[in-house]
Amino acid sequence: MDCPKCSGEMELVYYSRIEVDRCKDCGGLWFQPEELRRLRDDVWMADYVIDTGDKSVGKKANAIKDYHCPICGDSMLHENDKHQKHITYESCPNGHGTYLDSGELTDLVKKTFWDKFKRQR
Ligand SMILES: [Zn+2]
Ligand SMILES: [Zn+2]
């Protein structure tokens, strides 16, 4: 699979029982919908292992909003994260997956972690 943003080569990254595609060039991450949910909920430190791309490259890639699902070729839909409105990412309208730029997973997971921590106290 090629990166839908920069057409770089995607490599499979394994963490826990989750498989994620990561672009070798821009560090962008492609998740199946259920993988992203699992990562956010219960995979400890996943961001350190998976989200290793260059954050400044990720910022630039984030400006690319108009691109297509690498699986079906449909235009991706823009979404704002329900919990963190400043994070936007794109998902396939047919449910093939979600693309996060480098740095965005770290952002998502961090917030989720602190939320959990606060709730437990
Ligand atoms: Zn890329
Ligand atoms: Zn698709």
Looking at the predicted structure, is the pLDDT value of residue 112 above 70?
no
Please report the DSSP string for 46-74 in residue order: HHHHH--S-HHHHHHHHT----B-TTT-P
Closest by CA to 67, choosing from 43, 101, 109, is 101
pLDDT higher at 77 or 87: 77
Contact status, residue 50 vs residue 59, Cβ threshold 8 Å = no
pLDDT at 65: 86
Residues with CB in 5 Å of ion ligand 1:
3, 5-6, 8, 23, 25-26, 28
Cα 37 to ligand 2 centroid, rounded to whole Å: 18
Enter the pTM of the model.
0.86
pLDDT, tens digit, 9 for 90 and up, residues 60-80:
998 898 999 999 999 999 989
3-state secondary structure of 25: coil
Cα 121 to ligand 2 centroid, rounded to whole Å: 41
Distance between CA atoms of 114 and 12, rounded to whole angstroms? 28
The closest ligand to the CA of 1 turns out to be 1
pLDDT at 11: 96
DSSP 8-state assignment for residue 2: B
Cα 48 to ligand 1 centroid, rounded to whole Å: 19
